[in-house]
Structure 1
Amino acid sequence: MTRLLASPAYRLAALGLGLLVVNVGALAIHVPGADTVGSVTRANVFVGVVAVGLVPYLLAVRLVLRQRLPRAALWTILGIAVLMRAALLPAPPFLSSDIYRYVWDGQVQAAGINPYRYVPADPALERLRDAAVYPLINRKDYARTIYPPAAQLVFAAVGQVSHGVTGMKLAMLGFEALGMLAMLAILRDAGLPSARILIYAWNPLALWSFACDGHVDAVAIGLLGLALLARTRRRYGLAGALLGAATLVKLLPVAVAPAFVRRGRLWLPMLVGAAVIVVLYLPYLGAGANVLGFAGGYGAEEGYETGAGYWLLAGLGHLGLAPPGLLRTYLVCAGLTLAALALRIAFGRDRGPAPDAVALCRDAGTLAALTTCAASPHYAWYYPWLTLPAVVAPAQALIWLGSAPILFLIDPLNDRFLWPSLVFVPALVLAARSLWQGRTAPQAALPEGTAR
């Protein structure tokens, strides 16, 4: 019995059940039927409980990376991942109201209307209003939709079969499942342990972002996973097409494009990806300049036009250095840094003997993390996608940055630097530590004792 309790498979199951209990317990804090957690105090307690779930999650990640696990462990991982999502699916989206805009855009398109043409409060759309969705749409009085064409096509497809948030959440979980299946295929092709899928599947931030709130980022995750799989199987045109589609769900996935053209395989994925972007925009061009939606207004709301929305510039503001005066310098420096890294990845020599799939995901994860940190969005659901490439090429900073922003669900200090520093400072420390260890010791291809 003692040997059984000490076995890695038993510890994995115990950590999974602990994570399940934490998340179900956090769900119990929500006031039934409320469209928010219920109060500021409840929200703070809720995030505190969910953050506790990071402990069993990170311990489980450590376990799958360091211990030999039986093949059956994959079913434990997937089973608990499904149970956690099933527990949250029936709950109303109480951490964000974005999904109501998705449902609305789907209904607008089902009525044969371009979603970029009107704000929801426009009299032209009055006949589409209902009591369940319309009152909960954010920015309905002044903002056209911000979501790009690939996202709109998903909204339109779901709108043909469902008029509610549960149908939309199921669609998001379907795309998330596609991403996980793609990563499992990459792990198998590369001869890596399938248990590593836990890095994404048990991520508490992904769980709450998609199973509870149904954020459209799940579509980008599914398409990115498929793009990575196509690229590892040398389907360069298909990989470019899928990455182009992912970019027209959320802009951030474009950051990983240099990883797809590494070793000089440049033109096919780039040309096909660009063609997909153009084709996806064609059905919506009737809205004219409004086809860009609320993108400009969103940048102003988030403080990107003044610089106050960037974590580093907000920190310099505490030192008396005005973010507006530093904004151009920050953007130029960030752009040049990312451009230099992109060129090195796309055209430089391979670093070490890592298999192609590992090198691809390592480079994609690095580009994704640096771009996301440079933009430093303060919404938690912008970060779970970072743990997708970490499934194949695990890095401590990447795993932390893809899960710890669960803290961003609240901001008790109402400050764009101090509270986010709880996430960004440890991520920088972990990245610096990894770089130092990489310079002083050879990198092992697989942890010792890892089973496939």
Structure 2
Amino acid sequence: MVVLTAFSVTAYGFLDPKHDTGLLLCTAGLWLLFALAVILLKKVPTRAAIVLVVAGSVLIGGAAMAGPPNTSTDSARYAWDGIVQDAGISPYAYVPVADELAHLRTDWLFPTPRENADGTHTCFEPRTHKTSGIPSGDPLCTAINRSKVNTIYPPTSELYFAGVRFLVPTTAAYWPLQLTGLLLSVGITVLLITAMRRRGIDPRWAALWAWSPLVATEAVTNSHVDVLGGLLVVVATLAVSRGFRFRGGIALGAAIAAKLIPVIAAPALLKKQPWKVILAAVATFALLYVPYVLATGVGVLGYLPGYLSEEGYESGNRFALIGLVVPKSAALVVAALLIALTAALVWWKTDPLRPWFGQLIMIGTVLLIVSPRYPWYALLLVPFIAMTGRWEWFAVPLALTARLLAPMPGITATAVGTAVFVVVAVTCYRQKWIPRARRLVTKR
């Protein structure tokens, strides 16, 4: 896995849908090796397995740093927001191509466009696109996606970006966020092992996070901030399971202020004394926003409303399975009802001493319903696959990965539908056969 991870990052450049066969084959190979490694780990003694899990987390994550991002340009926006903040400017105040920020542009984020004979300009660097300054209209090349709209990221993420970039010069390209992603992913590995040992769970299951190809690709190579939200949700879940509800609420509020989607982790944490979790989460979320609201006002909303519309959630176009059975105009309403029903069931059935089962169901089901085209959203799910050992839920990140690497409606619907089938089938098998097997063992 270490060798193939490094090869896939270095041998293939930024994803080109027309020439993605090599990356697709490498990704498939990594998932097969991952499954084989986890199966073989069962034969390793516990103490040696713990060392191997941590070492694998470090080595696979380190291999994922062998090259720049290969399927996303989000970390370019992260870096830019950090650079802007470290210059004393709110990241919500200007769009990246605003002339007011021209003095902050670096060559790796804004390479010089090449002028053609006819006076037009071309961008030749990978991960870049042609744009223009505002309001000057000067031709620009940039690696920052959606360079003419304000940032979408909430305050926890913005503080994280500023902190990472504060420690390095502006000329440092992608590696600072990749290194931080590696540290966060290894931190989650250690946290999972510690929590599992304390609760009598086989720590070998931590390999489901530590060695996951999704983690290496999306937390390290592409440096997605979702890994920070995932860490905070794990902390919140473990804190609440031990009765520390105010602390859990603080971690949950910080997680929601990292990327909003961690709000779906709330239902599993509200079984007992929910007011403590809610109060702490709301207060934390609000306090994190205060400095940015004072600096920018309502501009802190950034591009969020436009993003939701762009992604097709308002029109219903992004719901891979729901859109097949109901009119697209009604898909959003149906999705909202299904999510609300899932949240109610999770709140009702969750064991407050073991809330990770509720998190698995809530987060995994929402991802299946919403079916985003970005697999890194599943970084929120994988820690709870590890905590529960319910490996069948890996069908969800696999389906989202297929949607990214082969973005065709038929493939997307098939992948998401297959994920639903796998999860339901294996869950039914567990419910039917495992209790019976336990009864037989007890009688013997």
Normalising by structure 1, we get a TM-score of 0.83
| Partner residue in 2 for 1:331 | 332
| Partner residue in 1 for 2:149 | 143
Q: CA deviation at 1:24?
A: 2.8
For 2:19 and 2:190, the matched residues in 1 are separated by: 36
> Are 2:232 and 1:240 aligned?
no
> Are 2:267 and 1:272 aligned?
no
Q: CA deviation at 1:361?
A: 0.7
| Partner residue in 2 for 1:425 | 417
For 2:264 and 2:405, the matched residues in 1 are separated by: 27
Partner amino acid, structure 2, of 1:333? V
Q: CA deviation at 1:61?
A: 3.4
1:108 aligned to 65, 84, 99, which one?
Answer: 84
Partner amino acid, structure 1, of 2:179? L
1:215 aligned to 196, 219, 224, which one?
Answer: 224
| Partner residue in 2 for 1:25 | 7
Q: CA deviation at 1:130?
A: 1.4
For 2:216 and 2:46, the matched residues in 1 are separated by: 25
> Are 2:358 and 1:382 aligned?
no
| Partner residue in 1 for 2:115 | none
Contact 2:356/2:384, CA 8 A, preserved across alignment: yes
For 1:153 and 1:68, the matched residues in 2 are separated by: 41
Q: CA deviation at 1:68?
A: 6.5
| Partner residue in 2 for 1:6 | none
1:74 aligned to 50, 55, 66, which one?
Answer: 50
Q: Could you list the per-position Cα deviations for residues 159-193 of structure 1 after superposition, in whole angstroms to 9, with x for gaps in the alignment?
A: 21123321122222222233222212210111111
Q: Could you list the per-position Cα deviations for residues 103-133 of structure 1 after superposition, in whole angstroms to 9, with x for gaps in the alignment?
A: 1100111111111111011111111111112
Q: Against the structure 1 CA distance between its residues 84 and 271, is the aligned structure 2 distance closer, same or farther, given a 3 Å change threshold? A: same
- 3-state DSSP class of the match of 2:233? helix
For 2:199 and 2:292, the matched residues in 1 are separated by: 40
Residues 48-447 of structure 1 mapped to structure 2, 5 A cutoff = 48-64=25-41, 69-134=45-110, 135-140=142-147, 142-162=148-168, 163=170, 164=172, 165-262=174-271, 264-285=272-293, 286-316=295-325, 322-323=327-328, 325-326=329-330, 330-348=331-349, 350=351, 359-411=354-406, 414-415=407-408, 417-441=409-433, 443=435
Q: CA deviation at 1:440?
A: 2.9
Percentage of pairs with the same residue:
27
Partner amino acid, structure 2, of 1:229? L
Q: CA deviation at 1:212?
A: 0.9
Partner amino acid, structure 2, of 1:137? I
Q: CA deviation at 1:198?
A: 0.4
Contact 2:350/2:357, CA 8 A, preserved across alignment: no
For 1:67 and 1:337, the matched residues in 2 are separated by: 41
Normalising by structure 2, we get a TM-score of 0.84
Contact 1:120/1:144, CA 8 A, preserved across alignment: yes
Partner amino acid, structure 1, of 2:394? I
Contact 1:105/1:155, CA 8 A, preserved across alignment: yes
Q: Against the structure 1 CA distance between its residues 180 and 68, is the aligned structure 2 distance closer, same or farther, given a 3 Å change threshold? A: closer
Contact 2:9/2:66, CA 8 A, preserved across alignment: no
Q: Against the structure 1 CA distance between its residues 333 and 305, is the aligned structure 2 distance closer, same or farther, given a 3 Å change threshold? A: closer
- 3-state DSSP class of the match of 2:20? helix
Q: CA deviation at 1:431?
A: 2.2
- 3-state DSSP class of the match of 1:248? helix
- 3-state DSSP class of the match of 1:249? helix
| Partner residue in 1 for 2:125 | none
For 2:181 and 2:143, the matched residues in 1 are separated by: 19
2:23 aligned to 46, 51, 64, which one?
Answer: 46
- 3-state DSSP class of the match of 1:107? helix
Partner amino acid, structure 2, of 1:269? V
Q: Could you list the per-position Cα deviations for residues 52-99 of structure 1 after superposition, in whole angstroms to 9, with x for gaps in the alignment?
A: 2111212333455x6574320221222122111112214111221110
Q: Against the structure 1 CA distance between its residues 445 and 294, is the aligned structure 2 distance closer, same or farther, given a 3 Å change threshold? A: farther
Q: CA deviation at 1:44?
A: 2.4
Q: How many residues align structurally? A: 405
Contact 2:374/2:401, CA 8 A, preserved across alignment: no
For 1:259 and 1:444, the matched residues in 2 are separated by: 28
Residues 4-15 of structure 1 mapped to structure 2, 5 A cutoff = none
Partner amino acid, structure 1, of 2:422? L
Contact 1:252/1:368, CA 8 A, preserved across alignment: no
Q: CA deviation at 1:214?
A: 0.8
For 2:94 and 2:45, the matched residues in 1 are separated by: 54
- 3-state DSSP class of the match of 1:130? coil
Q: CA deviation at 1:249?
A: 1.3
Partner amino acid, structure 2, of 1:336? L
Partner amino acid, structure 2, of 1:367? M
Partner amino acid, structure 1, of 2:81? D
Q: Could you list the per-position Cα deviations for residues 390-435 of structure 1 after superposition, in whole angstroms to 9, with x for gaps in the alignment?
A: 1111224322213453323322xx43x3222343122211222134
Contact 2:315/2:332, CA 8 A, preserved across alignment: no
- 3-state DSSP class of the match of 1:418? helix
Relative contact order, higher structure (CA 8 A, sep 6+): 1
Q: CA deviation at 1:136?
A: 0.8
- 3-state DSSP class of the match of 1:114? coil
